[in-house]
Amino acid sequence: MKAHGLRGVLLGVSLALLLAGGVALAQGLTVTADQDCFECWPRTSGWPPPDDHIVELTVDGYNVQEWLCARLRIAGDLYGEDCAWPGKNPPCTFEIAVECQTQGMFIESDCFGNNAQTLGGDVAPANGVAAYGEWVWRMWQEDEAEMVTDGPVFSRFDYAEDCTPPEEFVPEPGSMILLGSGLAGLAGYATLRLRTRH
């Protein structure tokens, strides 16, 4: 009888641990960008820029009891890195834009409460130019001992002079008919030639 009770307790504890582990995995840190490419913002008015000139990063699954850290690399060069206590429960967002005339970069966030200027928001990069190319946004969490507890997770997007994708070649119906007719003619010719040899 005692063996059955012990088995039941072990089974219950095992299921609870599996469930807790699954929930922890499901709630892990994530960061996603709302677009793959963005262009500079021809500033004609105040913030915010139009949606197609701004990248919005959504951060979710973080623990508000631990440091939330972010690092940005622009075309391979480190732009900035910072850690701060989350200022709100998940999710939170970062918004990134580049002003065309100065190539100055703007970062606004609701992730850090009063520390919204993390990563040097509202200033230009060190060389004064936000470089075209791939930008990599990296995030992770640390405890008070500066040990990584979650992540890192990444989001990649491009800053480009023109994000318009190249037009795909779509043949006209007339061209397709001509091509099909030509192929059918070649097949008929090959068939006739094979018959005359026999």
Residues in the chain with pLDDT < 50? 6, 9-11, 13, 15-26, 115-118, 120-126, 128
**Residue 120 has what pLDDT?**
44
Q: Alpha-carbon distance 21 to 118, whole Å?
A: 32
**Residue 23 has what pLDDT?**
40
Exposed (0-12), middle (13-18) or buried (19+): which is 198, by Cβ within 10 Å? exposed
Nearest by Cα to 99 from 121, 77, 73: 121
**Residue 161 has what pLDDT?**
93
- The pTM is what? 0.66
Q: 148-159 and 37-38 as β-strands: parallel, antiparallel, unpaired?
A: parallel
The answer to whether the beta carbons of residues 150 and 140 sit under 8 Å apart is yes
Strands of the sheet with 30-33, listed across from one edge = 30-33, 55-60, 92-98, 105-109
Is the backbone peptide bond immediately before 152 cis, with ω within 30 degrees of 0? yes
**Residue 38 has what pLDDT?**
95
Locate 51 and state its tokens: 């949606």
**Residue 170 has what pLDDT?**
61
The residue with tokens 């012990």 is 6
Residue 89 in 3-state DSSP?
coil
**Residue 13 has what pLDDT?**
41
Q: What is the pLDDT of residues 153-189, one digit of tens each?
A: 999 999 999 998 877 666 566 666 666 666 666 666 5
**Residue 175 has what pLDDT?**
60
The answer to whether the beta carbons of residues 75 and 135 sit under 8 Å apart is yes
**Residue 3 has what pLDDT?**
53
User: What are 12's strand-pairing partners?
Assistant: none
CATH 2.40.160.20 fits 26-162, yes or no: no
